């Protein structure tokens, strides 16, 4: 067993090397901390298969418009939806006027003999947090986070030493807008009220720079924006966020961010190092449970990181387990599992060119994003601990994507090597952990 001790007066260990982990490391370093990032993926930050990194397979959107939680529907609707989801039935939150059943089921539960009680316990907490009062608290909390979605990135990049943060974003992201295809008609009372409520929640436009301001548009305008969408896809119209950003390749952006972090020289000797694989997989935290001022963090390889003044836990679905090691007790976290599938560009066909902007299909609970050399469909919500991927969810995403895009039903199959499942820690009030 080797022992690694921080030599600087202030040291921090960040457990998890995804977007939140690397961003946390940058901010800590800028405040004079010597930061060690522990990432269990063997290939390091931004990798896919071996670490099941939650930051790899997302839709890549900067989302100031994501102001409503999953618990925003009425408790009765959620209870009905939850019962259907438990038994594998077709599910959609709220009402849908299109009658289109050719979309993925947004919510499911990954149940087994070992996790059924945990999932059901979480479901009951979730329903209790779906009262009108608690839904308001969730939406207000999400809005406070989301409205800084791009401005916070610019600040993080500046701290990391990127001279022109806006130019860096433009190099790695598109500002082509974001199209939300609603489950109810764009001109319905429900959608109009939601759009106005979103503006109210976001508040001061100087913070979110109009990126969360949505314009209600009908089916014809949706088709003008995205001609390759089918009539069924645009039947209800939607909301268009014309100033929204999305990344061309989330994994590439994250790796670049990590490279900048490693080069940082913060005040008082602040620095960042990243340990990956068995050297980055935490198996124990000692000292915190005895209320010691400093803790020891033990990794799978046997390394021991001592004298940690600050521990930041941002390790996806493992956060509950690691937080418990740190003495936080049995906090009510569960894995909110999301899926993505990809269609790669070839010499014969270019799926990435079928859409010009990230497009969300609210009825199905997923987003189709045109990325660098590929088209990604990402989303669905599946509650459950660490379990193998549910094959039907991957198939559902693939078939739904084909049905919602013109001339895509006969395209080559999805790239199964890119099939992805990632989990993020979720509280019953649906605020991010």
State residue 218 phi and psi, 5-degree precision: -85, 180
Does residue 367 sit in helix, strand or coil?
strand
C-alpha triplet 168, 172, 174: angle, nearest 5°: 110
Question: What's the pLDDT at 37?
Answer: 96
What pLDDT score was predicted for residue 406?
Answer: 92
Cα-flanking dihedrals φ and ψ of residue 239, to 5°?
Answer: -125, 130
Predicted pLDDT of residue 49: 54
Residues 285-336 pLDDT 10s: 987 544 556 778 999 999 999 878 889 998 887 888 888 888 887 788 877 8
Contact 97, 114 (CB under 8 A): no
Q: What is the mean pLDDT of residues 112-129?
A: 73
CB–CB of 35/270 below 8 Å?
yes
Q: Which residues of 234-268 are buried (b: 16+ CB within 10 A; e: fewer)?
A: bbbbbbbbbbbbbbbbbbebbebbbebbbebebee
Say what the pTM is: 0.86
Q: Report residue 51: phi and psi, to 5°.
A: -110, -10
- Mean pLDDT lowest for which of 117-131, 174-188, 360-374? 117-131
The rounded mean pLDDT for the chain is 82
């Amino acid at each position: 067993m080797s022992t690694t001790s921080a030599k600087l007066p202030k040291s921090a260990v960040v457990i998890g090397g995804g977007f939140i982990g690397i961003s946390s490391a940058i901010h800590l370093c800028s405040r004079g901390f010597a930061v060690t990032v522990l990432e269990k993926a063997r290939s390091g930050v931004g990798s896919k298969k071996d670490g099941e990194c939650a930051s790899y397979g997302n839709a890549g959107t900067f989302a100031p418009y994501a102001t409503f939680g999953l618990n925003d529907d009425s408790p009765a609707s959620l209870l009905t939806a939850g019962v259907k989801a438990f038994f594998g039935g077709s599910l959609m939150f709220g009402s849908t006027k299109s009658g289109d059943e050719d979309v993925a089921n947004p919510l499911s539960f990954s149940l087994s003999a070992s996790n059924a009680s945990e999932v059901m316990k979480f479901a009951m907490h979730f329903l209790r947090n779906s009262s009108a009062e608690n839904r308001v608290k969730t939406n207000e909390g999400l809005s406070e986070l989301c409205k800084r979605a791009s401005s916070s990135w610019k600040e993080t990049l500046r701290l990391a030493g990127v001279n022109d943060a806006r130019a860096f974003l433009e190099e790695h992201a598109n500002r082509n807008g974001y199209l939300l295809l609603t489950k109810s008609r764009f001109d319905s009372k429900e959608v109009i009220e939601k759009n106005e409520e979103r503006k109210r929640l976001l508040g001061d436009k100087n913070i979110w720079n109009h990126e969360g301001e949505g314009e209600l548009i009908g089916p014809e305008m949706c088709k003008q924006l995205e001609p390759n969408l089918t009539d069924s896809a645009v039947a209800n119209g939607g909301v268009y966020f014309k100033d929204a950003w999305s990344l061309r390749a989330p994994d590439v952006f994250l790796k670049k961010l990590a490279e900048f972090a490693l080069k940082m020289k913060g005040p008082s000797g602040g620095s960042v190092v990243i340990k990956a694989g068995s050297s980055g997989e935490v198996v124990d935290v000692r000292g915190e449970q005895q209320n010691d001022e400093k803790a020891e963090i033990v990794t799978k390889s046997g390394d021991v990181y001592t004298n940690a003044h600050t521990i930041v836990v941002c390790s996806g679905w493992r956060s509950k387990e690691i937080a418990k090691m740190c003495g936080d007790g049995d906090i009510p976290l569960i894995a909110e599992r999301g899926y993505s599938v990809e269609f790669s560009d070839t010499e014969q066909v270019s799926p990435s060119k079928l859409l010009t902007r990230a497009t969300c299909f609210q009825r199905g609970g997923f987003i189709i994003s045109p990325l660098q050399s590929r088209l990604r469909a990402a989303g669905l919500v599946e509650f459950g601990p660490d379990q193998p991927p549910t094959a039907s969810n991957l198939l559902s995403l693939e078939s739904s994507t084909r049905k919602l895009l013109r001339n895509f039903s006969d395209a080559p199959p999805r790239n199964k090597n890119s099939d992805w499942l990632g989990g993020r820690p979720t509280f019953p009030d649906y605020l991010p952990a």
